[in-house]
Chains A and B, each alone.
Chain A
Amino acid sequence: MLNAIEGSQAIAQAVALCRPQVVSAYPITPQTHIVENLSKLVANGQFNCEFVSVESEFSAASVALGAAMTGSRAYTASASQGILLMAEVLYNISGSRVPMVMTCANRAVSAPLSIWNDQQDSMAVRDAGWIQLYCADNQEAIDTMIQAYRIAERCELPVMVCVDGFTLTHTLETLDMPEQQQVDDFLPPYHFSRTLNPQKPISVGTLVSPDYYSEARQEHHQALLDAQAEIIQADQDWGKIVGREYGGLLNIFGDADAKIGILCLGSVLGTLEAALQQGLVTEKVKLFQLRCFRPFPSHALQLACEGLTHLVVLERALSVGSGGIVSLEVAVALNYLPQPPKLYACAAGLGGRDIPLQILPKLLALTQQPPQPFQIIDLK
């Protein structure tokens, strides 16, 4: 059903449709409306779930872990400092191969203190062994939430769904909210293979000697790489139900035979699309929305970039002292192409700085020059 609804409220409703048995969270801007809406649904009896309102994000992630270990479908959400505080637990969850889903309402990290959007928070935990999916708009956010549970449970891996704080969480859009039956058909009741079982007691998280640690890491790494197939599958299967697909790992827009590409993550895609539609540039451009950042879809990217002469990577985070985060990984992936495009790495929109339509000609202007080192292109 179509409804004009705030992003956070829509995400909360989508979470509820997935029927998690436990939600645990601590409020932080701009995630707050998501969990407040969930607690309202619980309080109104519209959502049968244990809502555990804890005293920190560290506890929120830990409660979700404990709940998931008992075989419950679990959910948490956070942003910024909260994600950083969760970091230890995030590694623990994924390393224990416990499936769950969380939303990251992307926000800049301190210091300096900022409540506004960029993607430094989720990027800071990119190596935590979680699947990370970045949404371009709120319809995608809803659909991805639902897909995320399916992916998590089939792969026994946790999934972080990233939505740009304020830009998505606090804006109203007309959205199609799926029916409960559609979600139930897509997402069968969950069974955790290592749930508590008195017939077969096991311990999780125990000490591993150097004899096995590397193998454990390799298995985890391989599981993430293999998850690419499930991410594509979930997108297609859900697409058959609701008639919307997002390209699986990598969503591609614009001119198929363009020689110049721009790759981005999250809601800035809408800005770039609008700028293209308004004819702000005359060149043909291919737009890439890197939907799945973990696992990193090297192969899909290589296929999509064949024939490109220039690729601009636009990020909303940076590795301080190094430069681009995504662009570095793109560079490695494209290195395997016989004729890789020239790569331009830049960041914009840090700490909530608005990214206007004029970003598009600015990005294309970069490609007139030989590649430069990474730069923040919207400095004053």
Chain B
Amino acid sequence: MFALKADWSQEIKKRYFTLDDYTGGEARWCPGCGDHAVLTVVQRICRDKQILPEKTVAVSGIGCSSRLPHYMGTYGFHGTHGRALTIACGIRSRRPDLDVWVATGDGDCFSIGAGHWIHAIRYNMNMVVLIFDNNVYGLTKKQMSPTSPLGFKNNTAPRGTILQPLNPLTVTLGITNVSFVAQTIDWNPAHLYATLQAAHNHRGTSFVRILQRCPVYSDEVFSDIQNDPSKILFLNHKNGIHIGDNVKRLFPTQREHDPSNMSEAYDIARNHVPVGLLYHAPQTPCYEDFSSVGRHMGIEDKMKGLNDALDQFAV
């Protein structure tokens, strides 16, 4: 017998997504802003992996960088200042099937959202966390952030900042249950792509600090490492971030670093400006491993469990 199923045509015609499918409104960041590069790479990864747009959520707080969800053709949530990670945790807690990308700035994550940063890393829910670190509050126009370099002149410290900047890498490495810590730069598309791809492949909270140029308010902060790339320490390893030799040679200073070696990661984070994978512990337990236990139980299983428990108290 021969019959056609009603959705037959849908089954044979595989959906294919182009970059357009991951594109929302036109990006309105300033010309030359590093945020454009990150957005493009996120969209390319989605396209290259053919991630279902309807299964993808971009979550952010408030800041220039937090406008990313507006520009994605996926679901998006532009939260309140500092709360990107908590909102993302809420989404993951109920919909572990969704692909979650978090966009947050150095102010959003390390200032007002610092409490959530510590705990989200510890929960280790499966998501990619993109930290757009331009060392300044961009949206509110040039106030110091926790990562502003010492002496950086800005509108809340006109004579320059007086404290050493916070080191987000060493802090994150110090949090219990940390599973993925990487650093990259917005001005090397190949490395940015490879890093975000590795972050996306990791199951757990992937913390990626992106050194991001703000040509308007903190133009100078990365000029040192841009003028002299030998000041960047490129991390090489078979389990690390892989890019072609033709791009690798842009980084004159390189070293081998096994991303499973926490104490070495800490030393590097403390004493260098690394790019690459600092730490990776793929087996680290995720919050959802525990919280989702029993989620797929039917009502009968639950009744049986309940009755078994009650039977223990039979008189």
Instruction: Name A's B-contacting residues (CB within 8 A).
Output: 26-29, 32, 35-36, 39-40, 43-44, 51, 53, 55-57, 81, 85, 110, 113
Among B141, B155, B156, B159, max chain A CB count under 10 A is at B156
A contacts with B: majority SS: mixed
Number of interface residues, chain B, beta carbon within 8 A: 20
A56 proximity list for chain B (CB < 8 A)? 82, 111-112
Q: Determine whether the beta carbon of B140 is less than 8 Å from that of A53.
A: no
Partner of B140, one of A32, A81, A113: A32
Q: Determine whether the beta carbon of A32 is less than 8 Å from that of B143.
A: yes
Instruction: Name B's A-contacting residues (CB within 8 A).
Output: 62, 78, 80-82, 110-112, 114, 137, 140-141, 143-144, 146, 155-159
Complex CA distance for A136 and B114, rounded to whole angstroms? 38
B157 proximity list for chain A (CB < 8 A)? 39, 43, 53
B114 proximity list for chain A (CB < 8 A)? 55
Among A29, A51, A56, max chain B CB count under 10 A is at A56
Q: Determine whether the beta carbon of B141 is less than 8 Å from that of A43.
A: no
Complex CA distance for A44 and B159, rounded to whole angstroms? 9
Complex CA distance for A10 and B112, rounded to whole angstroms? 28
Q: Determine whether the beta carbon of A53 is less than 8 Å from that of B143.
A: yes
CB distance from B61 to the nearest CB of A (A): 11
Q: How many A-B residue pairs have CB under 8 A?
A: 47
Q: Determine whether the beta carbon of A27 is less than 8 Å from that of B137.
A: yes
Q: Determine whether the beta carbon of B80 is less than 8 Å from that of A40.
A: no
Q: Determine whether the beta carbon of A36 is less than 8 Å from that of B156.
A: yes
Complex CA distance for A81 and B146, rounded to whole angstroms? 20
Partner of A39, one of B62, B80, B137, B155: B155
Q: Determine whether the beta carbon of A28 is less than 8 Å from that of B140.
A: yes
Q: Determine whether the beta carbon of B112 is less than 8 Å from that of A40.
A: no
Partner of B156, one of A27, A44, A110: A27
Complex CA distance for A110 and B155, rounded to whole angstroms? 25
Complex CA distance for A32 and B217, rounded to whole angstroms? 15
- By Cβ-Cβ distance, the 5 closest A-B pairs, closest first, are A55-B111, A43-B158, A56-B112, A36-B155, A27-B140
Q: 10 more A-B contacts (CB under 8 A) besides A43-B157, A81-B62?
A: A27-B137, A28-B140, A32-B140, A36-B155, A36-B156, A43-B159, A55-B146, A56-B82, A56-B111, A81-B81
Among A53, A55, A113, max chain B CB count under 10 A is at A55
Instruction: Write the chain A residue with the least CB distance to B137.
Output: A27
A39 proximity list for chain B (CB < 8 A)? 155-158
Q: Determine whether the beta carbon of A55 is less than 8 Å from that of B112.
A: yes
Instruction: Write the chain B residue with the least CB distance to A44.
Output: B158
CB distance from B280 to the nearest CB of A (A): 29
Q: Determine whether the beta carbon of A27 is less than 8 Å from that of B143.
A: yes
What would be 24 A-B contacts, judged by CB atoms less than 8 Å apart?
A: A27-B140, A27-B143, A28-B140, A29-B140, A32-B140, A32-B143, A32-B155, A36-B155, A39-B155, A39-B156, A39-B158, A40-B158, A43-B157, A43-B158, A43-B159, A44-B158, A53-B144, A53-B156, A53-B157, A55-B114, A55-B146, A56-B82, A56-B111, A110-B80
Q: Determine whether the beta carbon of A35 is less than 8 Å from that of B112.
A: no
A53 proximity list for chain B (CB < 8 A)? 143-144, 156-157
Complex CA distance for A36 and B155, rounded to whole angstroms? 6
Instruction: Write the chain B residue with the least CB distance to A54.
Output: B111
Complex CA distance for A357 and B143, rounded to whole angstroms? 37
CB distance from B112 to the nearest CB of A (A): 4
